[in-house]
Each structure stands twice: as structure tokens, then as C-alpha cells.
Amino acid sequence: MSNNHDQACIASIEAIIVDLPTIREHRLAMTTMSRQTLVIVRLRCDDGIEGVGEATTIGGLSYGEQSPESIKLALDRYISPLVIGMSAASANAVLAKVDQSVQGNSLAKSALETALLDAQGKRLGVPVHALLGGAVRNSLPVLWTLASGDSARDIDEARQLLDVRRHKVFKLKIGKRSPRADIEHVAAIKSALGDLVEITVDLNQAWSEAVAARHIPDLQAAGVMLVEQPIAKENRRGLARLAQRFIVPIMADEAVSTPADMFDYACEGAAGIVALKIAKSGGPLGVMRTAAVADAAGVGCYGGTMLEGTIGSIASAHAFAACRTMEWGTELFGPLLLKDDIVVERAAVADFELAVPMAPGLGVAIDEDKLAFYRRDQ
């Protein structure tokens, strides 16, 4: 027995590059951002339903091997011709076909998978998290990154956000300066804010194993909650040595994208926590497969971001809401870093949490005027 839901086919896929201004400079170990570039995917089905997705990387090619331009090219030239005409009802079937012919390109695949799930949710009248097995939680705690590099400015920013009950966990991006300068910066912020907040640090692979071994005790002494990706993602055994040496948990981010990566890290005891990202895992369904391996291995889960806008952040929120465990919180603050977005209603954080939408699909609508204004090809 079949019904009309099975008959809807993919009619067209449009990939649009959008450049959005940020509220301030955002400094990482490998780049400083003053704008964010999104690739918005509009997937139209022959039953008139449209699904939307987003692929966003950080600082062009500075963070990883995929750029906005390469994501658009992969979708336009390689992925769209494979899937036009396929049933839009099964994201699994569409992505399985794409995986046979397109290696890597997890961000393009994530945007496609998100758009398929958004369309199917609208078709069935259910939120995306219902397609993922249902939400375990209706809201997610969200941290904020203090990334000005100026201790006094960061302390003021944190106090303001605490006062309005937006964030109480803060991540510090370090690794660009000397370890001593970075540790003084971290210790000053934690000391000023005290037990009202938790502090995490992200090195984005900036240290060698020897430098990490020398300075993680200082971070531990400063009261840091966790240390994210201190050394090169390729150095799995080095991360395992660090994870087994210190009390403060070590979190793998760039090192773990796929369920196979997670399995290898778990076997080595190379991380106590993993940063999950739909962009790394190829979509909401993909990230849940990675999370299942982490759960099985007793590795803690954390909801990571590629600093996506509202579409990508809400897609992540649906997946993280459906994960069995998310004990280390999330960092879905990307929309808050943007001066403007291309959606009707932007994602917002209140009482330290991001509410997960209950409307059909993602629960996000594109603002056509803003999309027209910010798209690069206009």
C-alpha cells in the first residue's frame, strides 16, 4: 500500500552563497572572522513543498577542506544531477545514492539531508526531530564564545550575558598567543567570574603534544571545565595520552566526523567528550549515527557548531534534541554572532536555553527580501 507522500520527487536544488556581517570580530587560532558565509540550499519537490538546508564553514578554507564555493560547486555540478527525480520521502535513500558517487563533501551532504528532512516534516506535519525518533529534550543549553582576545572586554561581555540570563557557560578561543599569555587570559576571566560560570577552552589544534602536556595542568588549575582539541586532529595517540594523563576532560572536535572516527577514538580512549556537528557527519541523521557510537563507548556528547545561521543551527538543535545524551550542552550561538540573517524569525536564547521548534519541518522560514539582499550573486 502506498500513499501520495511516497510519490513526491525532487524537482530542483538551488545552492545560494550568502555573506552576512558579524556583530564583532571573532578570533580563532587559525583566522579572524568579520563576516560569515552561508550556503543556503532550497530543495523543491514536485508536490509544491520546499525544504531548506544550510552548509557553513568557518573562514573559507582556514578551518577545513571545504569552502562555500566548493560546497556550491559540489551541489550544482555533482550532487543535483544524481538526485533530481528521486523520491523526496527518504533522506536515507537519497544520501546513500550520493555517497556512492561523491566522496567526502560532508557539508554539502548535510545541507541536502537537512532540506530533505525539512520538506518531509512539512509533508507529514511533524517537526524534524520527530523524523529522528523524537525529542528527548525540548530546549538546549547554549554557551557563548568570548573571542575578542581582550580579558577586560571579555569579562564585561560575560557579565552582561549573565545578567540577561542568556549564557552561563563560556568558551575561550586560545592558541594564537604564547601559552603563558593564553593561560593568564583564561585564569583572569575565570577568577573574575568565579563559580557563577563554567569556562571551556578551544585550541583548534594549535599546540603540540609536548606543549599541551606542559600547560594543560595550568588550565586545570585555573578551573577550566574541558579542553577542546588541543593538538592536531591526526595525532590520535597523542590525544589519547593527554586524555589519560589529566583529570580535566579532553574533547575531540576536528578529529571526529564519522561513526568510524568515533569508533577509533573510543578504542584508543582518545577523548572523554566528542563535539558532534551535523556539518562534519553529513547531516542530522549522520550525526545521530556518530552519537550512537559515542553513547555505546561511554564518551560524553556535546553539541558543536560551525557558526551556522538560524537554518543550520535549528537543524542541529533538532538532532541534538533527539540524541539520547547531551550532557555537556551545546554551542548553537551562531545566529547570535550575526548582525542579520535571511530568515523571518531568528533563533534566540532565553533563560540560558534555545527552544527546539515544534512546528512542521525545521520550523524556519526564509525572508525572501533579506536573501535577495545578502546573496553574493546579486
Any idea which residues carry the catalytic annotation?
173, 331
- Give, in degrees to the nearest 5, the angle at Cα 377 between 375 and 378: 75
Quick check: 106 and 74 in contact, CB under 8 A? no
Helix (H) / strand (E) containing 173: strand 169-173
Q: What are 16's strand-pairing partners?
A: 40
Please state, in angstroms and rounded to a whole number, the distance separating the CA atoms of residues 127 and 144: 26
Lay out the sheet containing 50-56: strands in order across.
10-27, 32-45, 50-56
306: phi then psi, degrees, rounded to nearest 5: -105, 25
Largest Cα span, the chain: 67
What span, in angstroms and rounded, lies between the C-alpha atoms of 342 and 345?
9
Q: What is the rounded CA–CA span in Å between residue 229 and residue 354? A: 25
> Does an H or E element contain 96, and which?
helix 91-101
User: Which amino acid makes up residue 200?
Assistant: T
Tell me if residue 125 falls in helix, strand or coil.
coil
Grid coordinates in use for 364?
A: 524556519
Q: List the beta bridge partners of residue 366.
A: 343
Whether the CA torsion 311, 254, 242, 210 is positive or negative: it is negative
DSSP state of 78: I
